[in-house]
Structure 1
Amino acid sequence: MGNANFELKYIETRWHDKSTLLEVNESLYSISIDEISNEIFEVQTTIYPKVVELNRSQFAISYTSQNVNIPPVIVLADGNTIPLKRIVNPESKKVWWIEHGAWDKKNKSWSTSTHKTAGKIIFKIGKQTLYLNINLVDASKEDLDKYLVDFKSGMWELILDENSYILGEAKQEEVGVVDESVLKIVDTALTHAKNILKKPKSELREVQIQKPYKEVKPVPRTFMELVTKGNARSLTSRGSEPNYNVPENGYVLYSLISMQRIVSQLCRVSRSKIERLKNNLQSLEERLFDLKDFKTINRDLVVKDYKKAVAEQDINAINAKIRRDLISVNGCELSQGYEWYIRITKKNKYGAYFCLFLLNNEWVPYGGCDFSSINLSEKYENLFLEYTDYRIFADISYQIVGNGNIAILSLNSLSVIEIIGNPGWLVRKQEKLEKMKQEAILLSKNGWKKYLTKQELDEQAKERSSIINRKEYFNKQHKNISYVATFLTPKEKQLRDIIKHLFSLGVKPLATFPNSMTFVQNPSYQAIHASYNKLKNQVGLTDEDVLMSLERIDNIGLVDITVLYERWCLLQLIKSFRQNFRFEPEISWKRKLLKILENKLFNEPIKFINQNSRRNILLSYEPRLENGKTPDFVLDLISENKAGGFTKKRVVFDAKFYSQAFMVKRGGISGVVKELALDKNYSEDERNAVFIFHPVTEALKDAGGPVSPQGWGNVSYLGELKLFDWDNC
């Protein structure tokens, strides 16, 4: 346990009511504590929320000295605190501190989030700090780390991106570059920090110490000792000792801590970029390998498309679906009206359809008129197709206008409908099906290889040249970033060692720059101040609030995996806009992003612009729709057409992180999408497209396997098939 003034255990409590504790069962072993420093400790633990027998267990803290009654607190991400509840074991009288939670009257227990939440919780226990890292068996440490590490790396990479701009509203844009100059800055700071440690600035502080009586410089206590002790060998005397906790050293320590944090994140970002560049290079190699004079066709997808085309031209299946739709429209199966044979042609400008009726094996206008049209009504219009012949049982009324030349009919009710004959659109489907069949036969004979045309070969040559150029670019980037990572990693450890040494001298960090001649007269103190400012300028962290925001987010506590996943998705959207679709963010995007990550109530949109495509994107996090609903993300897509006008489309996304069992209870992927789009009305009366982000392979399986020959088709489902048709959850 070392210097920790507390011990940790899981305990089970039994209550008579919320004020009367009956029993405390303590675990046999205390939780192992890792000591980071004298005041900072870390714990790794695992919770099992699905194990019913452990539902009453909870994380508990006990001071090693039972006389201490300062409540430990949970430190939230925004700096607020939640005090723990004091309980006393009725049998041993030992005092424990637990999360207060909410009282569960039915089960007579206190329900707590620490039993259900994976991630990190920060406790302040007296003057000491405890970081509790909780692993959830339902979402393993590896699963959580995948998002947690990628989220933090992605956040720092976006902010420290050397190709982006630091955004100060009233400042000139400065490009932050991680290059040789950054390495020199860090090296210079380390050299001068070591010089400072050799002879740090100090002040002599008067203290009282025991000295031989001949060397004593008396204080009032000295005379008291002479009266009470007589001729003692040593007496209390004035003395002095160096005090290193001076403003100059405090500022140096603060600067070195900030530099160490920046360097640490640069190392993290470098490692992340190295991994991404390796993946990019591997992908380019695979693309080069695939560039041949033929394309390999996925037989399974061809078969799937063929079966789908067969179903689409099956008149019996089509009529069966129309009958089901009719019953759904009517609400029941009707048997009324007269039998009609009607041919629907094109729609006129009044919203009705020109039509003909079968009379003596000939299609003619109704009632001997020159023209006839029928109003199908909104209720039945979707059941009919243009240029199609039908047999129906219906109640139809009519009127003759235009001096008896025009018959206008109205469909009042419909009880039976079926397509007859062979309409033109069906003939085209049959021709397409036959063409698909012949192409499939030819592909089968060629081993499912489709040889390229001359034009395709020319385009492929251009693509090969482009890939080679991109490989050279990525290889150069990979070499440079690897050099940065190799150089900075050991420097970061040296900075930590120097910081630890300054702490051991009793120095406390001071953020305010002291107005002292030391920074004029002493070149090492001056160099630390200059190096810190140069490093901030070089990486684009010229404003302290940006760095502080990054650090607060990086140490986010009480992480609920759904919130973490939401914010991870937000970063993926931004990275996709910038890296894949070449959208440039607005000037203040970084500050907006940090405010979003710090405070979910901030919902001012971030604007992205692509001048080449003349498209803009407004990305909002948890905005309030007109109907009062608040989805996770809203994308307002604004595009300019050739005439100079603008078209606006809205896409709504919601991030979900359900277990498979919970997803099934919600009706599967389709049930969740339907709930969001229709029940919660994220579609705003079907005006918006609604999607969800969800890391589950079942959607792909239920979709019938890959639905695209593209590489992402093996791991992603983007709704290529009609919604809800595939999902049988």
Structure 2
Amino acid sequence: MTAMRIEARYLLIEWKSEALARHIDVSPVALELGDGEDGALEVESMIFNDFYPWLGIRLSEAAEHCVPVFTSVSGTEVPLLRVDDPGNGGSWWIRNDGWDAVGKRHLNEMQRSAGIYTIRIDSVTLRIFNRLSNLGRACVQAYVDDFRGDLMWMIMSDETGATASTNGAGSPAELIDALDSLSRALQRIQASPSVMIRESQTLQPVAKVRANAATFRQFMSRPTRRHVIGRSFYEAADTPENRYLRHIVAVSLKVVETYVDAAASQASFLERLAAIETKRGKENREMERRSVDPLVWDQQTDDIAQRLEALHSFGDREASRKPFPLRLKAQARPNFSFYYERQKSAGNADDSKIAYRLVIMPRTPFELILRTHHFCRRYKIAGSADSKDIFKKEQWHRELRFESVEAVEAQTNILSSRASKRMKFEDDGWTAALRESEKLELNQEAEVCEQRAREASRRGEAIASSLRSARTQASRLAHIDASLASRSISCSPTFPASIKFLSNPDYAACIAAFKKINDVCNRNGFDATSLDAIGRIGILHASDIYEKWSLIKLFSLLTQTFRFIPESGWQSKLTCAVLAGAVDARFEFSRQASALKVVLTYQATLRNGRRPDFVLQVFRTATDEYFGQEDGDIFLCGIVMDAKFRTAWRPDALRRVLDELIHTKDYGTASLGAGVFVIQPCEFTVHAPESPLNWGRHCDYGSQKSHKSGWVQAGVTSTGVASVQHLKRLLIMVFQKAFAPPVEVTRHDHETPRWFSDSFCLECGEPHTEDSIDAQITKGRQLSWRFTCARCQTQSKRTHCYECASTSLFKNGTRWTYHNTVADQITNVLCPKCGAFFDADWDAGDH
């Protein structure tokens, strides 16, 4: 027996009469059906505040005999209404709550009421989670317009190409030149089009009549007539050649209007971006004080208190052994050990020969001390210990080894100090004066903002110039089309079987120009059919629109921001993915003079059969000069992303969705241990913010989980500019995880060390050259590197955690840092593994 297949889609129904539809618009993509814990099928639908699509259910042929029934809370079952689809064929089952004879439409409670609805289809239960949205038609249309504009701009411009030239092959300049040639040739034809002589019958004076049979019939019926019908001739412009010309005009007009819409949207975006960057740069230069988030401050204070309490609760507080007062320094190479210094009360033994001291202890007290070590240096450790001096590598060192630890006391007043500091923040309106290091960093960021503003203005002016030319061509073509219509010339895509396009130079010029237009379109992977299909994308399925909008944004960030080059033929593949709902649509991206490769898969099928919206993987190719020559591509890291369109989240609902993706759907394990993140459009989804940065209340980058899971906010905002900055920061996090530490290279003409890195600027994608990388040694005796972009001067720093030296940290300024930072020092990052941060005051050891 064939298994029953169930499909659920949004419908817009125009009713003709009761139970009879005149026309049905069907969403292009079906809703995703999931499996519930009790074996039932589950689907999520959404209702909006000013348009009300139907949720239609279609059954396979094997289930034609089944009549779905709606099951109420009381257990009553009501059959669904079957509606035949006059345009697409087949039929749909919908819930019916009666016929409104006045409004001439069926009623349906599910169009207006949120809740959980149950439908039984034979032995199958379908549970519908009906979500209420506070958005309306205009908001969803904004996503459609933004998605359509970005898609067409990427396809019709050449900014995703390797050269990013404005005059290269397939560029807007080539398209406009071809349109100009076409309009000029059409204007010459418009002045004197080819015509066809046709015969007609008109009323003529008897003395001048050209007789035919009708003439004699009229004359015989009344010989005294002064005017009779006779043959006449006229010139008709509705020839096969001119009909094809009008088809050329219609197609070319559609192409140029599409480009005008996309370019206008891009120019407007760049204008707003320039204004925002200018404002941000000015604010950074003028800033003297920074706000401190009390929620973040209190959360970080609670974290410190919990670490101290865990240490205080360890062992026996009534220990009988005398404690050892130690000032612990950095971790040492042996497991569970620190370098240490004796405190002043430790005695006066002659130890001038001792080069350094080590304290080694059991694992548990070591890990508890390590969790407090970044804000406390002085400890009293009670336990059984043995001390001995060891001569190794031509120097003496002292080793204090604890066989057991009874109690540990952290000698710090950090909690009272933070309490006093909190009172001062309250008095100052929860603001803090900027440190000199913060001012320097803000000034540097201001320069980057000003550079970005200039670059946005330059690009905007170039696009505006191209846009003016395109609008001129669109106006010409519209005027020519109206002129051809006024001559009663119809439109036909059939190429005429005549020699007019060979013998007449103007007609030949039209064909040549149209061929150039088609060549540009074909190279860019679109045609009139795909333009029509993209233009017909509607607002029925908001979740599907948001997924495709997210795909376009990811594609745009990879190509236009980080300057990856997509594979050949990406245009048609991308168009197919967004129009036909392709599964496992794989896109490969590479970079010039770089061994990094990115693979983005849309609707990827994982090893466990699950299908997240996006899987992004970073590889190093086998041709890398500095990082190995292994066969095949080397997988570096990846991330799984699921787009969830909501207009509001209940407390902890987003966290539950994320847990479902990780634990139930097993996205991370099934994708080679990649991170798992949700993309969603709502702001203020973090109710207990952990980061004082601007994204702290909107995003969770998994800063306390080694950045393995979380969510980011991405959506169409009122300005349309900051809509993907959080998504860009997520990709920066992935790429910086993939970057290998810089490699020292030998240059005989340089005395100072030179460094090679496969990294690139996180702001504009410019590769980091040897001249843009500086190295230095940290206080923890680890190498750190500062990267300065030669193009836009953006700086980032790669260093290591002060405590767990194996963890790499990236300081990307106040805009692109994704690690948590100290509440009142937002340039001071916290380690995502151990939570430590470097503070010069505490490192001095006085607390």
Identity over aligned pairs, percent: 20
Q: Secondary structure of 1:709's partner?
A: coil
Inter-partner Cα distance in structure 2 for 1:177 and 1:724:
40
> Does 2:687 correspond to 1:703?
yes
> Does 2:550 correspond to 1:569?
yes
Q: How far 1:610 sits from its partner (Å)?
A: 3.6
- Equivalences for 1:491-510 in 2 at 5 Å? 491-510=473-492
Q: Report if aligned partners of 1:10, 1:57 keep a CA contact under 8 Å in 2.
A: no
Show the counterpart of 2:678.
Answer: 692
Show the counterpart of 1:488.
Answer: 470
Out of 456, 460, 467, the position equivalent to 1:478 is 460
Inter-partner Cα distance in structure 2 for 1:672 and 1:198:
66
Q: Relative to 1, partners in 2 of residues 1:437 and 1:162: Cα closer, same or farther, differing over 3 Å?
A: farther
Give the aligned residue type for 2:529. M
> Does 2:171 correspond to 1:177?
yes
Out of 279, 286, 292, the position equivalent to 2:279 is 286
Q: Report if aligned partners of 1:306, 1:433 keep a CA contact under 8 Å in 2.
A: no
> Does 2:180 correspond to 1:190?
no
Q: Relative to 1, partners in 2 of residues 1:511 and 1:471: Cα closer, same or farther, differing over 3 Å?
A: same
- Equivalences for 1:30-179 in 2 at 5 Å? 102-104=92-94, 107=97, 139-165=135-161, 175-179=169-173
Give the aligned residue type for 2:665. K
Give the aligned residue type for 1:690. V
Report Cα offsets for 1:197-244 as digits up to 9, x if no partner. Answer: 23222223445666677735435x778x66996769577765555443
Report Cα offsets for 1:27-85 as digits up to 9, x if no partner. Answer: xxxxxxxxxxxxxxxxxxxxx96799999999xxxxxxxxxxxxxxxxxxxxxxxx966
Q: Report if aligned partners of 1:99, 1:112 keep a CA contact under 8 Å in 2.
A: no
Q: Report if aligned partners of 1:165, 1:175 keep a CA contact under 8 Å in 2.
A: no
Show the counterpart of 1:527.
Answer: 509
> Does 2:570 correspond to 1:585?
no
Q: Report if aligned partners of 1:85, 1:98 keep a CA contact under 8 Å in 2.
A: yes
The answer for unaligned runs of 5 or more in structure 2 is 1-11, 23-45, 57-82, 100-104, 113-131, 315-334, 338-361, 370-403, 713-847
Inter-partner Cα distance in structure 2 for 1:555 and 1:440:
57
Q: Relative to 1, partners in 2 of residues 1:54 and 1:293: Cα closer, same or farther, differing over 3 Å?
A: closer
Q: Report if aligned partners of 1:210, 1:236 keep a CA contact under 8 Å in 2.
A: yes
Show the counterpart of 1:310.
Answer: 304
Inter-partner Cα distance in structure 2 for 1:283 and 1:491:
32
> Does 2:617 correspond to 1:636?
yes
Q: How far 1:183 sits from its partner (Å)?
A: 5.3
- Equivalences for 1:198-217 in 2 at 5 Å? 198-207=191-200, 215=209, 217=211
Show the counterpart of 2:664.
Answer: 679
Q: Report if aligned partners of 2:252, 2:517 keep a CA contact under 8 Å in 1.
A: yes
- Count how many residue pairs are aligned between Structure 1 and Structure 2: 532
Report Cα offsets for 1:244-264 as digits up to 9, x if no partner. Answer: 333322332222222222221
Q: Relative to 1, partners in 2 of residues 1:600 and 1:50: Cα closer, same or farther, differing over 3 Å?
A: closer
Show the counterpart of 2:378.
Answer: none
Show the counterpart of 1:556.
Answer: 537
Show the counterpart of 2:267.
Answer: 274
Inter-partner Cα distance in structure 2 for 1:714 and 1:53:
31
Show the counterpart of 2:829.
Answer: none
Q: How far 1:267 sits from its partner (Å)?
A: 1.8
Q: Report if aligned partners of 2:260, 2:471 keep a CA contact under 8 Å in 1.
A: yes
Out of 215, 218, 221, the position equivalent to 2:212 is 218
Report Cα offsets for 1:608-654 as digits up to 9, x if no partner. Answer: 22457743221111122222222221212224796426334332222
> Does 2:635 correspond to 1:650?
no
Q: Relative to 1, partners in 2 of residues 1:480 and 1:84: Cα closer, same or farther, differing over 3 Å?
A: same
> Does 2:452 correspond to 1:452?
no
Q: Report if aligned partners of 1:13, 1:56 keep a CA contact under 8 Å in 2.
A: no
Q: Secondary structure of 2:601's partner?
A: strand
Could you say what the CA RMSD is over the residues aligned between the two structures, in angstroms? 5.3
Report Cα offsets for 1:438-490 as digits up to 9, x if no partner. Answer: 8879989996123224xx77777765655554444333322232233334335
Q: How far 1:586 sits from its partner (Å)?
A: 1.8
Inter-partner Cα distance in structure 2 for 1:318 and 1:229:
126
Q: How far 1:694 sits from its partner (Å)?
A: 1.6
Q: Relative to 1, partners in 2 of residues 1:14 and 1:316: Cα closer, same or farther, differing over 3 Å?
A: farther
Q: Report if aligned partners of 2:199, 2:231 keep a CA contact under 8 Å in 1.
A: yes
Inter-partner Cα distance in structure 2 for 1:624 and 1:13:
44
> Does 2:256 correspond to 1:258?
no
Q: Report if aligned partners of 1:623, 1:632 keep a CA contact under 8 Å in 2.
A: yes
Show the counterpart of 2:351.
Answer: none
Inter-partner Cα distance in structure 1 for 2:275 and 2:244:
46
Q: Report if aligned partners of 2:526, 2:572 keep a CA contact under 8 Å in 1.
A: no
Inter-partner Cα distance in structure 2 for 1:615 and 1:648:
9
TM-score, with normalisation over the residues of structure 1? 0.59
Q: Relative to 1, partners in 2 of residues 1:637 and 1:200: Cα closer, same or farther, differing over 3 Å?
A: same
With 292-301 and 478-487 compared, the bigger mean Cα shift is at 292-301
Inter-partner Cα distance in structure 2 for 1:657 and 1:493:
39
Inter-partner Cα distance in structure 2 for 1:493 and 1:259:
12
Q: Relative to 1, partners in 2 of residues 1:317 and 1:279: Cα closer, same or farther, differing over 3 Å?
A: farther
Q: Secondary structure of 1:313's partner?
A: helix
Q: Report if aligned partners of 1:541, 1:547 keep a CA contact under 8 Å in 2.
A: no
Inter-partner Cα distance in structure 1 for 2:251 and 2:162:
18
Q: Secondary structure of 1:606's partner?
A: strand
Give the aligned residue type for 1:178. P
Q: Secondary structure of 2:642's partner?
A: strand
Inter-partner Cα distance in structure 2 for 1:508 and 1:276:
39
Q: How far 1:151 sits from its partner (Å)?
A: 0.9
Q: Relative to 1, partners in 2 of residues 1:236 and 1:715: Cα closer, same or farther, differing over 3 Å?
A: farther
Inter-partner Cα distance in structure 2 for 1:259 and 1:112:
44
Give the aligned residue type for 1:451. R
Q: Relative to 1, partners in 2 of residues 1:116 and 1:474: Cα closer, same or farther, differing over 3 Å?
A: same
Inter-partner Cα distance in structure 1 for 2:463 and 2:307:
57
Q: Relative to 1, partners in 2 of residues 1:50 and 1:438: Cα closer, same or farther, differing over 3 Å?
A: closer
> Does 2:577 correspond to 1:596?
yes
Give the aligned residue type for 2:674. N
Q: Relative to 1, partners in 2 of residues 1:470 and 1:566: Cα closer, same or farther, differing over 3 Å?
A: closer
Show the counterpart of 1:627.
Answer: 608
TM-score, with normalisation over the residues of structure 2? 0.52
- Equivalences for 1:351-430 in 2 at 5 Å? 427=410
Q: Report if aligned partners of 1:165, 1:174 keep a CA contact under 8 Å in 2.
A: no
Inter-partner Cα distance in structure 2 for 1:718 and 1:238:
84
Show the counterpart of 1:327.
Answer: none
Inter-partner Cα distance in structure 2 for 1:724 and 1:273:
33
Give the aligned residue type for 2:304. V
Give the aligned residue type for 1:151. F
Q: Secondary structure of 1:703's partner?
A: coil
Q: How far 1:720 sits from its partner (Å)?
A: 4.4
Report Cα offsets for 1:113-151 as digits up to 9, x if no partner. Answer: 9x969xxxxxxxxxxxxxxxxxx9953232022101101
Q: Report if aligned partners of 2:97, 2:107 keep a CA contact under 8 Å in 1.
A: no
Q: Relative to 1, partners in 2 of residues 1:526 and 1:632: Cα closer, same or farther, differing over 3 Å?
A: same
Q: Report if aligned partners of 1:631, 1:682 keep a CA contact under 8 Å in 2.
A: yes
Q: How far 1:535 sits from its partner (Å)?
A: 4.6
Q: Report if aligned partners of 1:627, 1:684 keep a CA contact under 8 Å in 2.
A: no
With 311-320 and 240-249 compared, the bigger mean Cα shift is at 311-320
Q: Secondary structure of 2:172's partner?
A: coil
Q: Secondary structure of 1:683's partner?
A: helix
With 615-624 and 580-589 compared, the bigger mean Cα shift is at 580-589
Q: Relative to 1, partners in 2 of residues 1:452 and 1:353: Cα closer, same or farther, differing over 3 Å?
A: closer
Q: Secondary structure of 2:434's partner?
A: strand
